[in-house]
Amino acid sequence: MNIRNHLSIIVMIVLLNSCATKTNTATNVDASNNNIINVDQALDKAEKQLALQSAIAEKENKIPRTVNEDGKMHWAHQNFDWTEGFFPGSQWFIYKATNDNVWKARAEKSQALFEEHKYKTTNHDLGFVFNTSYGNGYALTNNEAFKNVMIEAAKSLSTRFNPNVGCIKSWDVDRGWQAERGWKFPVIIDNMMNLELLFKVSEYTGDPKYNEIAITHANTTLENHFRADNSSYHVIDYDPETGAVRSKHTAQGAAHESAWARGQAWGLYGYTLCYRFTKDPAYLDKAKKIAHFIINQKNQKNGIPYWDYNAENIPNEPYDVSAACVTASALLELNTYTNDAYKADAERILTSLATDEFTAKLGTNNNFILKHSVGSIPHNNEIDVPLNYADYYYLEALLRYKEQYEK
Query: Does residue 20 register a pLDDT over 50?
Result: no
CB 290 within 8 A of CB 264: yes
Cα–Cα distance, 153 to 137 (Å, whole number): 15
Nearest alpha carbon to residue 356 among 24, 23, 27, 37: 27
* Amino acid symbol at 84: E
What are the tens digits of pLDDT across the range 249-265?
Answer: 999 999 999 999 999 99
Residues 358 and 371 sit within 8 Å (Cβ to Cβ) = yes
| pLDDT confidence band for 28 (50 / 70 / 90) | low
Q: What is the mean pLDDT of residues 140-150?
A: 98
| Coil, helix or strand at residue 61 | coil
Query: What is the rounded CA–CA span in Å between residue 28 and residue 44?
Result: 10
Between CA 77 and CA 69 the distance in angstroms is: 17
Predicted confidence at residue 180, as pLDDT, reads: 65
pLDDT tens sequence across 87-123: 999 999 999 999 999 999 999 999 999 999 999 999 9
Answer yes or no: 125 catalytic: yes
5 pLDDT exceeds 80? no
Are 367 and 243 contacting, i.e. CB atoms less than 8 angstroms apart? no
Q: Exposed/middle/buried for 357, CB within 10 Å: 0-12, 13-18, 19+?
A: middle
Among 176, 262, 280, 182, residue whose Cα is nearest residue 222: 280
CA distance 365 to 71: 8
User: What is the DSSP annotation of 249-314?
Assistant: E-SSSSSTTS-BHHHHHHHHHHHHHHHHHH--HHHHHHHHHHHHHHHT-SSEETTEEBSBTT-TTT
**Per-residue confidence (pLDDT) for residue 174, from 0 to 100:** 76
Distance CA(329)–CA(212), nearest Å, equals 26
Catalytic residue among 30, 81, 190, 391: 190
- Which of the four pLDDT bands, split at 50, 70 and 90, describes residue 32? very low
Q: Is the pTM of this model over 0.85?
A: yes
Q: Which residue intervals of 317-387 are DSSP H helices? A: 321-335, 343-353
pLDDT mean across residues, the chain:
92
Number of C-alpha atoms within 13 angstroms, CB side, residue 239?
A: 6
Point out the catalytic residue in the list 30, 125, 237, 320.
125
pLDDT single digits (tens) 291-348: 999 999 999 999 999 999 999 999 999 999 999 999 999 999 999 999 999 999 999 9
Q: What whole-number distance in Å separates Cα of residue 302 and Cα of residue 347?
A: 10
29-30 β-sheet, strand order: 23-24, 29-30, 36-37
